[in-house]
Amino acid sequence: MEKWLDKIRLRTRFIILMVGLLVVSLIFNLIWSSIRHQKQNEMEMREKAYILSQQLEAVWEFMAVNQDLINYDSVGNYDFKGLHCSLVGKSIGKIFGIKTDYIIRYTNFNPRNKADVPDEFELEALNVFLEDNKVQEYYDIVDYKDKKYFRYMAPMKIDNSCLECHGKPVGELDILGYPKEGWEVGDLGGAVSIVMPINLYQQNFTYNVIREVAFFFFLTLLFILIIYYATSRLVTNPLKQFKDTVEKIKGRELDVSFENINAVGEIRDLAVHFNDMTIQLNDLYTNLENEVEQRTEELAKTNHILEMHRIQLEEANRRLREDNKYKSEFMAIMSHELRTPLTSIVAFAEILERNKDLKSEKELRIIREIKTNSQVLLDMINNILEMARLEVGKTELFIELVDLVDIINVVDNFIQPLADRKNIHYTSSIDRDVPLINADWERLRQITANLVSNAIKFTPENGEIRVSVTYDNLEREVLIMVQDNGIGIRKEEQEYIFEKFVQSDSSIYRQYSGTGLGLALAKEFAELHGGWIKVESEINKGSIFTVGIPLKRGGN
């Protein structure tokens, strides 16, 4: 559809637009004219019917008033001639109808003659006259004998001349032998009904429509010719010349000129601007090859420099990889070498702690300090060793059925002395519905111990730490939560704390010891189990670390 519209020329679009506007105007004009002519015709027919009804009423009244002149002779003898008002009115209406195609009737609710029984329209008009004595006419265009007719009715009120035949007493026979109706002056005696053909008005309306349509067609043709000439002279022909010149430029004929285009107004201004642009383009194209050659040389030099930098960068990366490998191997060796004596120190401290020969509480406290600090140092070395294994891809999980109660108890025994040293209130809990899970016991212990050790490290004296284990039945995973009221972590630092060798704002918190590997290892071990770790923290309000371990392991 859009491609088809693109092919339509500007001149054709103007013509289509103008024709469309004229057609819409014609339609609205016909609708408005139809309504206006219908109202006008209706008013003309109403006026004619009104005049006719008044003439008939005048004849009726004349006959009623002059009954004595008609029925008495010159010497005063009464001789009823039968020429009463009803007979005269109906006779005149019948004669008028024969000559004019009009239908004139007199009717009421209970006519004396069955031929005067009202039809549906007449009965409706009589009811309107009866309900409202002020209504003086009732009319409409309706279907009558399968054709459209204008129907008009006017009420006929009882006056003194009518009482002789229609007054009281009710039931008494009048001069014609009909029982009187018992009407009084002002009562509705009936109505005159006039039926007028409207074919002449319809013919006039059709003629007017044809005349207006013909005028609009003539006007449309005139507009089309004017638009065709104007757009050809002022728009399409100059644009065609413009297009031909642009096509030459497209074919690299840059010595053409737009000054020869026969145009006026905005198109002429556009041609002048394009001519200036063509001159500039010709100048640019003349010097383009030299500029391209110069840029090519510069680009080659730049590429050579980039290649040298790339080689240097590759060499630097290779050295960094080697240095990182040596660092990991060195740290693993050193950690392994330090691990054995530290393990011995912890073992000897435990033996001394269980020795019943100790007499002094001070000696017992010193032995516990040796054991606790040695255990802390051993955990730090274990963290370094585990991180080295992770970097070389040698870490494996030993999956077994794990009871989280055992892990929490082991962590409690390790953490409690550290908490007591800072007078921290440490508590732990595990919900009854926490199931056994398939996991690596030691890795889960390290995750929990690292998180709690981190909380101990950054919680001031007299603080609080709470460890809780729950089960999320919806996600089918065990949640290990460590909550403290320590120094907290800034929001901008929270996304980095799980990276290796990173602590929260080292410039401020470097007073807290540690390798910066505890949280990184916790994250690595959680993800190895197919789980996750997250932190929620506010500065000076504390932190909440949560680890999720699924029942069905999804990691490697």
Q: What is the mean pLDDT of each run of 10 residues along the chain (556 residues)?
A: 59 73 76 75 83 82 74 72 74 81 87 86 90 89 85 88 81 81 85 85 72 78 76 70 70 64 66 69 71 84 88 84 67 60 66 65 72 69 66 74 94 89 93 94 92 92 95 94 93 83 48 66 90 93 95 58
147-157 and 477-484 strand pairing: unpaired
Helix (H) or strand (E) holding 241: helix 237-250
**Cα of 414 vs its chain's centroid, Å:** 60
Please report the pLDDT score of residue 409 as a whole number: 95
Residue 531 DSSP class: -
Please report the pLDDT score of residue 81 as a whole number: 67
Please report the pLDDT score of residue 216 as a whole number: 76
Integer Cα distance of 449 and 349 in angstroms: 20
Helix (H) or strand (E) holding 438: strand 437-440
Integer Cα distance of 494 and 511 in angstroms: 19
Please report the pLDDT score of residue 505 as a whole number: 47
Please report the pLDDT score of residue 459 as a whole number: 93
* Among the listed residues 185, 98, 181, 193, the one whose alpha carbon sits nearest the alpha carbon of residue 144: 193
134-153: string of b/e by CB count within 10 Å (b at 16+)?
Answer: eeebbbebeeeeeeebbbbb
Integer Cα distance of 60 and 91 in angstroms: 11
CB 68 within 8 A of CB 83: no
CB 435 within 8 A of CB 471: yes
Assess if CATH 3.30.565.10 describes domain 396-550: yes
Tokens of 520: 């990184």
Please report the pLDDT score of residue 555 as a whole number: 42
Which residue matches tokens 């039809």? 119
What residues does CATH 3.30.565.10 cover in the chain? 396-550
pTM: 0.39
Which residue matches tokens 């770790």? 533
Integer Cα distance of 455 and 478 in angstroms: 20
- Residues paired with 549 in a beta bridge: 478
Integer Cα distance of 49 and 267 in angstroms: 66
**Helix or strand or coil: residue 262?**
coil
